[in-house]
Amino acid sequence: MAAAAIGTGLAVLCLCACGAATGSRVLTSRAALTPQPGRTVRQALDLLALSRDSGSCHLLLNSGATVIAGTAAVNGRSGSALCVNSGARLAAHAITVQGGLLRQGGTVSAGPDLRQPATPDWLAPLRPPTAPPAACPGAACPDGASIDGRQTDRLLPGTYREAVNVGADARVCVAPGSYVLRSSWNVDAPLRPYGSAGCPALPQPTSDPGVLLYFARGHLQLNDDGRVTLLRAMRRGRYRALLYWQADRDTTALDAARFAGGGWYEPRGELILNSGADLTAPFLVAATIIVNSRATLTVAVS
C-alpha cells in the first residue's frame, strides 16, 4: 500500500441507517477510511477515544471539565465507555459510543448513539516519519539539550535520542520539518516557529514553517508555562494538519498548559488534561482521554 496522507478537511459525515428493524445508527464517512493506493486518508471524526483495553471510561469528563467537538466517538464495549460526571459539559453535534454512557450529572448536548460498532482509526494507515540522526548537543540543537533563558535557542529536524528540557524563561525556535524523538521533551516555555518574531528566518526556499513532533518513544510534557500554541502543523505533504504523534503507551498529562496549531494522535496512550489545561486541535485520537476540573478540550475543524 502506498504511503497515505492526512486530508486537510473534515470528510462529509452521514448518519446511515443500519437495519430498519432496529433503527440503530452508525456514524460513517463518504470517504474511504481504509485508503486504496494513492488515496488520501480523510478525517472522519473530530474526536476519537480508541479504547485499547477492557476497562471503562475511555472518555472521562470529571467535574468542571469542558469538551467541545463537532463529532465524537468512543470505542470500548463497557457499559461505561463514556463517563460524564457532575458539573462537566460535553458539547458535540453527534456522539457515537460502542458501549454505554455513565452519566452522573453533567451536560451532554447531543443524545449519544449507544451500542454501535467500533469506530475505525482513520489515521492507522499513516506511516511514521523518518529523519536523519540529529546531533544533540551538536548541529541539531546547537545551543544544547538543556535550554534556559540566557539566549535564543534553536532546534532543527532530525532523530533525537536525547531528552530535551526547556526552562521557564527560555526562548526556543523550532525549525520546520519532522522531529523523530526517542526520549521525552519537558517544556516549561512556549515553542516558537522559525520565521516568527525573535527567531531565525525560514530557510530558503521553504515557505511552510510547519513541524511534526513524532515521539517514537516518550512523550511531550507540557508544564504550567509550557505552550505549543505558536507552532503549526505542516500545510502540505503526507503529514499535513498533524502536529503531535505519540507511538508508545506513555501517559501524557498537560498541567495548566496550552496546545494548539495541529492535530493530536496518540493511539496507544492516555491523554490527561489537568486543571487549567487548554487543548485545541482540528482532530484528536487517543486510547483514553481524561479531562479534569477546569480543563478544556476543543476539537473541531475550523
Instruction: Say which residue, 283 or 24, is predicted with more confidence.
Output: 283
Confidence of residue 41 (pLDDT cuts 50, 70, 90): very low
Which residue, 33, 101, 104, 242, is CA-closest to 92?
Answer: 101
Q: Report yes or no: 208 and 234 within 8 Å, Cβ to Cβ.
A: yes
Tens digit of each residue's pLDDT (9 = 90 or more) over 197-250: 999 999 989 899 999 999 999 999 988 777 899 999 999 999 999 999 999 999
DSSP β-ladder status, 220-222 and 107-108: unpaired
Confidence of residue 184 (pLDDT cuts 50, 70, 90): very high
Q: Report yes or no: 42 and 65 within 8 Å, Cβ to Cβ.
A: no
H and E: helices and strands count for the chain: 0, 29
* Number of alpha carbons in the 13 Å side-chain half-sphere of residue 235: 4
Confidence of residue 44 (pLDDT cuts 50, 70, 90): low
Confidence of residue 28 (pLDDT cuts 50, 70, 90): very low
Which residue, 282, 276, 268, is CA-closest to 295?
Answer: 276
Q: Report yes or no: 259 and 272 within 8 Å, Cβ to Cβ.
A: no
Environment class of 80 (CB within 10 Å of its CB; exposed 0-12, middle 13-18, buried 19+): middle
Instruction: Tell me how far apart the alpha carbons of residues 223 and 57 are, in angstroms, rounded to a whole number.
Output: 25
Tens digit of each residue's pLDDT (9 = 90 or more) over 112-141: 999 999 999 999 999 999 999 887 877 778
The pLDDT value recorded for residue 136 is 80
Global pTM?
0.85
Instruction: Tell me how far apart the alpha carbons of residues 241 and 181 are, in angstroms, rounded to a whole number.
Output: 19
Residue 158 CB neighbour total at 10 angstroms: 21
- Residue 48 predicted with pLDDT over 90: yes
Q: Domain extents for the chain? A: 1-127+251-302, 131-237
Confidence of residue 150 (pLDDT cuts 50, 70, 90): low
- Residue 34 predicted with pLDDT over 50: no
Q: How far is CA 218 from the centre of its chain?
A: 15
Tens digit of each residue's pLDDT (9 = 90 or more) over 273-287: 999 999 999 999 999
Which residue, 289, 249, 292, is CA-closest to 58?
Answer: 289
Q: Report yes or no: 253 and 272 within 8 Å, Cβ to Cβ.
A: yes
Which residue, 19, 126, 14, is CA-closest to 71?
Answer: 14
The pLDDT value recorded for residue 134 is 82
Percent of the chain with pLDDT strictly greater than 70 = 83
DSSP β-ladder status, 227-228 and 258-259: parallel
Confidence of residue 149 (pLDDT cuts 50, 70, 90): low
The pLDDT value recorded for residue 117 is 96
Q: Report yes or no: 149 and 175 within 8 Å, Cβ to Cβ.
A: no
| Mean confidence (pLDDT) of the chain | 83
- For 9, 41, 210, the CA distances from 31, given in Å and listed in that order, are 11, 8, 26
